[in-house]
Structure 1
Amino acid sequence: MSDRVSPGENQKRATAIRLRSGLWLPIFDQLADPRVVSRLAADAEAAGWDGVFVWDHLRWRAPVQQVADPWITLAAIATATERIRFGPMVTPLARRRPTKLARETATLDLLGAGRLTLGVGLGSDRFGEEWSATGEELDDRRRGQMLDESLEILGAAWSGEPVHHRGPHYTVDEITFLPRPIQRPGVPVWAAGFPGNAEPMRRAARHDGFFPVNLEHHDQLAEIVTTITGLRQGRTTDFDIVVGLAADIDPAPYVKAGATWWLTDFDPETVSLDQVRGVLRDGPVDIEGKQVP
C-alpha cells in the first residue's frame, strides 16, 4: 500500500495521489525461475516502477507446465531491491496455516526492510484444479470464514503480544510471534474479490486495500470506490484501490474513478520474458487521481 501517514497528512493528500505502477507476474514457465524474476525486479526498480507482485498457485491448466513458489521468489525480490514494494497477489489463505504465514510474513518484511504487502483472497479451483487435486476446502463460504479467521490471527501475531485464539478452524495457544514485522501495526493487507460481491469489499474495508479482479469497465470501479468509502467512514488511514489492466489499456479513467495502484495484467498462458521486459522498459505511468478516504 502507500506509505502510512498521520490523519492530518492523510487529509492533505485526500484529493490527489500519484498512481503507483507495479509489475504483476504469473511466475509460470519462463518466469518460474526466481533468479529471472529477481533480475526483472531490480530492473523495474531502476526504471522507476513502484512494485513487483507475483501470483500464488500450485499449478495452472495447460499449456502452463512450470510453476514457481511465490515465497521463495519474493525472498529473491526482497534481496535484489531496495525501494519497491512486493508481495503475493493474491495468496488464498484457506490453504495456508496462519501461524506459519505469520512467521513467513514477518521474516519477509524484515528481509525487505518493511516493503511487503500481503494480497489475500478465496482462491479458485477453476484454472488448475489445485484445490480438488490436493484435498483442500472447496466451499467458498467456508474458505471465506477461514480467510477471515486467518487474518484475525495474523493481526494478533504481528502485534508482538501473546496470541490466544480458539476458533472453528484454527487454534493458537499463547504463542508470541517475534520478531515483529518492521511495518506498524503490521503488514498491509489488500483483499481481492470480484466486482459486485459485497463480502470481499467489507473484508477489504477492514484492512488496507481492495483489488477488484476481472474489472470490465472503469464505471464498475467508481461504484466500488463509493461503496468502500461508505464502509470506511470514520477511518483515517490510507487505503489503496488496486486495478489489474493490460499495458495497452489507458489507466486514466480508472485513476479518475479512484485507483491508486495499476498492476500489469499479463495472460498467464502466453506471457513471455520478452513481453514482460518490453512492458518494463516502457516504464510506469505518471497520472494523478483522487485517494479513497
Structure 2
Amino acid sequence: MQYGLAFPYIDVHVLLELAQEAEAAGWDGVFYWDGGGVEPWVALTAMAMHTERVRLGTMVTPLPRQQPWKVASAAATLDHLSKGRVILPVGLGVIELEKMGIVKDYKVRAQMLDEGLEIVDQWWRGEPFSYDGTYYQIEETSGMAPVQTPRIPIWVHGGERQSQILRAARWDGVKMGGTPAQVQQGIQAIMAHRTAAAPLDIITESETPGDDPEQAAEIVRPYAQVGVTWWIEAIWDSAQRIGGVEGMRARIKQGPPRI
C-alpha cells in the first residue's frame, strides 16, 4: 500500500515546506485541492521542483469545469518536469461550482467528464487527432505525450451507479469510500466489467492517529486486505481543524501508517 496526503487550500509557500516535509517523512504522494483560488498546476509544479520522489496530483480536478485539453497539457508538462510523477484524479465537481458557471445538471456533468477523459487520453498519445462530441469539438490537432506510458494514471470517483462502475472499470484508479466490506463489494462490481490487463489502483481517504502506530495499522490493514492500494490521509480535516497549519505539519512528520 502507498500513502498520500490531501492538502487543503493553504499559503503556497507553506505548501512547499509541507511537501518537502512529507517526502522526508516517507509519504508517497501529495495531492492539492483543485477548487478555485490558487492555480493547482502552478503549485504542483513548484512542489515538483522542490521534491524528488513523491507522486503529485490534484484532489480532485473537476474536469467539466475546465477545458480538458488544457488539463491534459498541464499534466503532461508537469509529468516531464517531475520525471514521471504525476497522477490525475478527476470528478464531476461539487455543487458549489455552480456559482462559477458550471452546469448544474449532474447527468450532463457526467457526460462532459467522459468526453473530457477521452480527449485527455487522446492528447497524451502525442499524435494528430480530432474530436466530435456532444459537448466538445476539436479540429485536427496534436497533443503531448507524457513521460509515463501508456499514460499518466487517471483516477475517478467510484459509486453504485452503473455509469460510475463502467467509468471506473475503464481507467487506472478509483477512489472509494465506506467500510472495507463496502469497498470490497465496489471492487468486485468494477472488476466484473474491467477488460484492461493493467492493475487497477483502489484509493480511499480517511484519517489515522499519527501518535498511535498500532491503532493506525488496525485502521488501515482491513483496507489493504480487500485490495486498497492507496491510503490518502485527510490532513485537511482533524489535523487542520484542531491545530491549523502546525497541526498538519505535526501529522505529516509523524509519517504514514504502516501495516
TM-score (norm. length: structure 2): 0.90
Partner of 1:242 in structure 2? 203
Whether 1:276 aligns to 2:248 is: yes
Whether 1:188 aligns to 2:153 is: yes
Partner of 1:290 in structure 2? none
Q: Spell out the pairing of 1:1-293 with structure 2 (5 A cutoff).
A: 19-27=1-9, 31=10, 33-58=11-36, 67-125=37-95, 129=96, 131-178=97-144, 180-193=145-158, 195-212=159-176, 215-232=177-194, 234-248=195-209, 250-265=219-234, 266-267=236-237, 270=241, 272-287=244-259
The higher-RCO structure (CA 8 Å, 6+ apart) is 1
Shift in Å at residue 255 of structure 1?
1.0
In structure 1, distance between residues paired with 2:247 and 2:178: 23
Aligned to 1:242, the other structure's residue is in SS state: strand
Aligned to 1:153, the other structure's residue is in SS state: helix
In structure 1, distance between residues paired with 2:146 and 2:2: 23
Which moved further from structure 2: 113-122 or 278-287? 278-287
In structure 1, distance between residues paired with 2:59 and 2:99: 22
Aligned length: 248
Structure number with higher helix proportion? 2
TM-score (norm. length: structure 1): 0.80
Task: Please list every run of 5 or more consecutive structure 2 residues that lacks an aligned counterpart in the other structure.
Answer: 210-215
**Cα shift readout 1:102-130 (whole Å, capped 9, x = no counterpart):** 211111111111100000111111xxx2x
Aligned to 1:190, the other structure's residue is in SS state: strand
Residues 247 and 279 of structure 1 are in contact (CA less than 8 Å); yes or no, is this contact kept in structure 2? no
In structure 2, distance between residues paired with 1:51 and 1:246: 15
In structure 1, distance between residues paired with 2:221 and 2:45: 32
Residues 34 and 72 of structure 1 are in contact (CA less than 8 Å); yes or no, is this contact kept in structure 2? no
Shift in Å at residue 55 of structure 1?
1.6
Residues 35 and 76 of structure 1 are in contact (CA less than 8 Å); yes or no, is this contact kept in structure 2? no
In structure 2, distance between residues paired with 1:113 and 1:134: 33
Task: Please list every run of 5 or more consecutive structure 1 residues that lacks an aligned counterpart in the other structure.
Answer: 1-18, 59-66, 288-293
Residues 201 and 210 of structure 1 are in contact (CA less than 8 Å); yes or no, is this contact kept in structure 2? no
In structure 1, distance between residues paired with 2:65 and 2:128: 24
CA RMSD of aligned residues (A): 1.7
Residues 153 and 163 of structure 1 are in contact (CA less than 8 Å); yes or no, is this contact kept in structure 2? no
Percent identical pairs in the alignment equals 39
Q: Give the letter aligned to residue 50 of structure 1.
A: D
**Cα shift readout 1:141-188 (whole Å, capped 9, x = no counterpart):** 00000000011011111001112111111111111123x211112111
Shift in Å at residue 198 of structure 1?
3.1
**Cα shift readout 1:16-60 (whole Å, capped 9, x = no counterpart):** xxx100011112xxx2x22211211111111111000112112xx
In structure 2, distance between residues paired with 1:135 and 1:199: 24
In structure 2, distance between residues paired with 1:169 and 1:204: 21
Shift in Å at residue 239 of structure 1?
1.3
Aligned to 1:244, the other structure's residue is in SS state: strand
Aligned to 1:238, the other structure's residue is in SS state: coil
Which moved further from structure 2: 96-105 or 244-253? 244-253
Partner of 1:64 in structure 2? none
In structure 1, distance between residues paired with 2:162 and 2:205: 19
